C-alpha cells in the first residue's frame, strides 16, 4: 500500500512539474510574440495635444 501511494505521489509531482514547465514555456512564447511598443516623440505628443485642443475649441 505504501509503495503504491509513493508511486502515485511521485507521478503526481512529475505531472505537476511538467505542467509548470509547459506553462512557463507558453508565457515565454507570449513575450517573444508581443509587438514592441510604439515610441512617441515629444513632437508626436505636442501634435496630439494641439489636435485635442482644436477639437475642444470647435465644439
Q: What pLDDT is stored for residue 15 in this prediction?
A: 93
Question: Rounded CA gap, 1 and 6, in Å?
Answer: 9
pLDDT digits (tens, 9 = 90+) for 8-57: 888 899 999 999 999 999 888 877 666 566 666 677 777 778 788 878 87
pTM: 0.46
Question: Rounded CA gap, 37 and 4, in Å?
Answer: 53
Amino acid at each position: 500500500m505504501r509503495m503504491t501511494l509513493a508511486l502515485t505521489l511521485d507521478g503526481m509531482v512529475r505531472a505537476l512539474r511538467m505542467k509548470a514547465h509547459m506553462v512557463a514555456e507558453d508565457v515565454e512564447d507570449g513575450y517573444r510574440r508581443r509587438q514592441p511598443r510604439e515610441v512617441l516623440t515629444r513632437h508626436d505628443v505636442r501634435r496630439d495635444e494641439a489636435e485635442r485642443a482644436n477639437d475642444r475649441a470647435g465644439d
